[in-house]
Structure 1
Amino acid sequence: MLVASPPKLLVLGFALIILVGAELLTLPIASAAGHSTRWIDALFTATSATCVTGLVVVDTGTYYSTFGQLVILSLIQIGGLGFMTMATLFAVFLKRRISLKERLVLQEALNQSSIEGIVRLVRKVLFYTLCIEAAGAVSFTLRFMFDMSPGRALYYGIFHAVSFFNNAGFDIMGHFRSFTMYVGDPVMNLTAALLIFLGGIGFVVLADLVEYRTKRKLSLHSKVALSMSGLLIAAGAVIIFIFEYTNSLTMGPLSFGEKVLAAFFQSVSPRTAGVNTVDLASLRQATQFILIVLMFIGASPGSTGGGIKTTTFAALIGAVNTMIRGKEDVVMFNYRLAKERVYKALTVTLFALALVMVATMVLSTTEDHQFLMILFEVTSAFGTVGLTMGLTPELTLVGKIIIILMMFIGRLGPLTLSYAIAPKPGRVLYRNAEGKIIIG
């Protein structure tokens, strides 16, 4: 009897959830007009929701009915937490023993180095998720009540809290507006930014922060993830503020305080959230390129976000710094980083670059749009971000398929997918003689 490896189970599990979601979204009851949605559009939406991306070919708020929106919200929650996490939670509630095989799949899904305490971590994941989403829903609901009825405000509050914490970027504001009408609203901006940040730093980091009062220390992973996330958000906000300060189409007409808020939010959103408060197509090209870089880096490991991850980027920066200083070991917070970690960071980054480059070249031939817009779309899909300059609704059939594949690969991770499809390595019988090449 053939037993699938953990990476294969993850790939098959996510694929099955997407297909089920697509079938549900094709039902007439899922659309506001009461007619069946084209299967490719339903597949695109289901992939975007399950892979917590947020790219949409039709407007979520006006095209889909309440049933369709709830299907999307369910896919977001399952995709954000991971289907194995959800399955484990059901098993725990039913008091069923979690097998070793299931623990190995959970280890792969949560990007952990061992299976020790994995079930305990899953319980924490559910608890933190429910608490944070509930707090976000309350904040959003209270603010939405100034603009709509209490029942509708509650629905909007829950939908956007779940979507933003899971870094999905789906919104139901209508007409592809995202949160542009709240560009100067501190409650909406700060609530959304906090949900995005907490969803993007990873559940291991969240657990570390919650237990800091008793342990009085953070793990190396948490220190690197938090410091790099903070540095990227701060640097991105400053750059966006400078480049867009006088742009009359984006931040120019805003007051100084609103400009600071808008720059901060646009820097947080590429953590893979996909929400924007200014028109991204009207940003200066330099700003759009900065957003591409931030989207490519993405969130932290073990989170609801995508990208190559903040810790991967930190390992690369550390390796470059080590080489420039003529040292041998990559040191972070007085800890030496194992060489295989640096090799893995390099592999992930080059793999991701290759995927983005190939997809961008293909779309450059199938889509009649500017190169930067296409690169922005591909990077957003790979990083499971969901930000767009307006290309998504205009994609051709080939373009939709390419973006679907990029979202799927981005959510699972390029290495997980490669492990799933690669043949099992054979036993190494010998090592080759060492050789030398000239570098640089």
Structure 2
Amino acid sequence: MVRKRIPTFFYPIAAFALTILVGTLLLKQGFSHPGKSLGWIDALFTATSATCVTGLAVVDTGSFFSRTGQSVILGLIQIGGLGLMTYTSLVLYLWKRRIAFDDREAVSQTLLHNPRFSLGIFLKRVVLACIILEASGAVILYALDPQGFSPYSAVFHSVSAFCNAGFSLYSDSLTQWSGNWGVNAIFMVLIVAGGLGFIVLLELLERLTGTPLRGSKSLLGIQNKISWHSCIVLRMSFWLIAGGALAILLGEFLLRPENTQYALGDELLSSLFQSVTCRTAGFNTMDIGGMANVSLLVMIFLMFVGGAPGSCAGGIKVTTLRAALAFAGSRLKGRKQSVITNYALDEGSVNSALTLIFFAGCIVVAATLILCISETGAVPHDQTRGQFLELLFEAVSAFGTVGLSTGITPELTTTGKLTLTVLMFVGRLGPIIFLQVLQDLHRHEKFLWSEKRLAIG
């Protein structure tokens, strides 16, 4: 009798679903919020938001939940962030080559295409780096402001920042530190580190220290230069952050005379922080609901893109955007190959990037349509001006597991909350599932179809 093999993509779905279920049950209990009531939908929404490291909240985390409830949320954030970082960075390569999980040697040969790569050591370094970064962030936050960040609060926010979760114990997020360069810098470093992915982080560590992470051999095989993948991630991250900061600076301060009372340093800091947090972190030092439309549109784009593969960040990923840009550039130049820094992308990578962008866009549009139906119904447009942009912002924030909100999350209907819950889950696991399903659908046809020209444009 032939045993039917369970599809690989079932495991991350089951693992995250089970984690969310356990989190929902714990958050529903009275010890998580003594003397207060939390409905099942709100408990499910909060557990999903924490596990998928999104940060959208229907109740205030700091005042509604007890220390026990906050610890449950913190645990879900750590599981969702660290678990996905390690799992995704490995499984994406395993699925690409269809390698069995128990074949350690094959894994080592496949991951990063480096035969010297050690799976066990990689996982140890991932956990160690996570502990060091989160602990260092917590210590520095406490040292910078012991009154604002108690030891528990410092740990909570450090973990939330590194895992790109965006959960805060303060109802105004980080707006009270909007002009504090030290606090802002720590959050930005943690957010960017969590959004780069451990493959890039460990490679940078080897490069900066000049010492292999184990014995005489480099853990990632780095010799004298940064790898092609890391170069793409670092360059795209830099330009997205810098471009986003300039756009927000223009939209919020240079074009708005009412905000001229801010010092130039504070304007630059606030713009930079909001651009960084759009990597799917979800913290804010500005009132999102009071921002200009141009700033919100730029932030929607940044949230849709997200961070790097194998990181805590969501979105379609910076490498996907870079592949699409390379494809567009090659077509404009009449070049057959999509070239990025002296290397041409293989056809499979280009096709996957373009298809992922298309389906991600379809998911966001469909979710926004459902939200428009559930939240506005048949209300005329002149009575709901501005709400469409808010709903689109909310949908992209959920799909990109960002957590930024214009403030409408608590007022959403049950249908709206369930829509965002599904969107957070799909946004967190969607790219992984998409790649696997796409692989399963591939068929190598042994014939060519007859071609016809279609009028375009």
User: Which residue, 9, 13, 16 being the options, matches 2:15?
Assistant: 13
Which structure 2 residues correspond to residues 84-103 of structure 1 after superposition, within 5 A? 85=86, 100-101=100-101
Secondary structure class of the residue paired with 2:307: coil
Q: How many angstroms does 1:128 deviate by?
A: 1.2
> Cα 1:11–1:417, aligned 2, differ >3 Å: closer, same or farther?
farther
Tell me the TM-score normalized by structure 2: 0.85
Conserved? CA contact 1:233–1:268, under 8 Å: yes
Secondary structure class of the residue paired with 1:431: coil
Conserved? CA contact 2:85–2:198, under 8 Å: no
Q: CA-to-partner distance for each residue in 1:368-399, whole Å, 9 max, x for gaps?
A: 36100000000000000000000111110000
Conserved? CA contact 2:84–2:310, under 8 Å: no
Amino acid paired to 1:431: F
Q: How many angstroms does 1:211 deviate by?
A: 1.2
> Cα 1:426–1:220, aligned 2, differ >3 Å: closer, same or farther?
closer
Distance in structure 1 (CA, Å) of the matches to 2:276 and 2:403:
13
Range with greater deviation from structure 2 (208-217 or 368-377): 208-217
User: Which residue, 261, 277, 288 being the options, matches 2:285?
Assistant: 277
Residue 217 of structure 1 corresponds to which residue in structure 2? 225
Amino acid paired to 2:23: G
Secondary structure class of the residue paired with 1:6: coil
Residue 190 of structure 1 corresponds to which residue in structure 2? 185
Q: CA-to-partner distance for each residue in 1:32-85, whole Å, 9 max, x for gaps?
A: x33442111010000000000000000101110000000000000000012695
Range with greater deviation from structure 2 (133-142 or 299-308): 133-142
Q: Runs of 5+ in structure 2 lacking a partner?
A: 88-98, 212-222, 377-383
Amino acid paired to 2:373: T
Distance in structure 1 (CA, Å) of the matches to 2:287 and 2:157:
19
Distance in structure 1 (CA, Å) of the matches to 2:226 and 2:48:
35
Q: CA-to-partner distance for each residue in 1:292-316, whole Å, 9 max, x for gaps?
A: 0000000110000100000100111
Range with greater deviation from structure 2 (333-342 or 377-386): 333-342
Range with greater deviation from structure 2 (6-15 or 225-234): 6-15
Distance in structure 2 (CA, Å) of the matches to 1:236 and 1:340:
30
Q: How many angstroms does 1:334 deviate by?
A: 1.2
Q: How many angstroms does 1:191 deviate by?
A: 0.6
Residue 195 of structure 2 corresponds to which residue in structure 1? 200
Which structure 2 residues correspond to residues 351-370 of structure 1 after superposition, within 5 A? 351-368=359-376, 370=387
Distance in structure 1 (CA, Å) of the matches to 2:416 and 2:360:
19
Q: CA-to-partner distance for each residue in 1:322-365, whole Å, 9 max, x for gaps?
A: 11011111111211111110101001100100000000011011
Which structure 2 residues correspond to residues 117-196 of structure 1 after superposition, within 5 A? 117-145=118-146, 147-148=147-148, 153-173=150-170, 175=171, 177-196=172-191
Distance in structure 1 (CA, Å) of the matches to 2:412 and 2:178:
28
Secondary structure class of the residue paired with 1:211: helix
Distance in structure 2 (CA, Å) of the matches to 1:118 and 1:5:
22
Q: How many angstroms does 1:426 deviate by?
A: 8.8
> Cα 1:409–1:250, aligned 2, differ >3 Å: closer, same or farther?
farther
Residue 4 of structure 1 corresponds to which residue in structure 2? 6
Residue 96 of structure 1 corresponds to which residue in structure 2? none
Secondary structure class of the residue paired with 2:278: helix
> Cα 1:429–1:347, aligned 2, differ >3 Å: closer, same or farther?
closer
User: Which residue, 297, 300, 317 being the options, matches 2:325?
Assistant: 317
> Cα 1:317–1:417, aligned 2, differ >3 Å: closer, same or farther?
closer
Secondary structure class of the residue paired with 2:166: coil
> Cα 1:351–1:39, aligned 2, differ >3 Å: closer, same or farther?
same
> Cα 1:341–1:60, aligned 2, differ >3 Å: closer, same or farther?
same
Residue 76 of structure 2 corresponds to which residue in structure 1? 75
Residue 386 of structure 1 corresponds to which residue in structure 2? 403
- How large is the RMSD of aligned CA atoms in angstroms? 2.7
Amino acid paired to 1:46: A
Q: CA-to-partner distance for each residue in 1:88-139, whole Å, 9 max, x for gaps?
A: xxxxxxxxxxx942679xx8xxx97799643332222111111111111111
> Cα 1:338–1:199, aligned 2, differ >3 Å: closer, same or farther?
same
> Cα 1:41–1:342, aligned 2, differ >3 Å: closer, same or farther?
same
Conserved? CA contact 2:32–2:67, under 8 Å: yes
Conserved? CA contact 1:209–1:218, under 8 Å: yes
Q: CA-to-partner distance for each residue in 1:248-277, whole Å, 9 max, x for gaps?
A: 698543211000100100110100000110
Q: How many residues align?
A: 418
Amino acid paired to 1:437: R
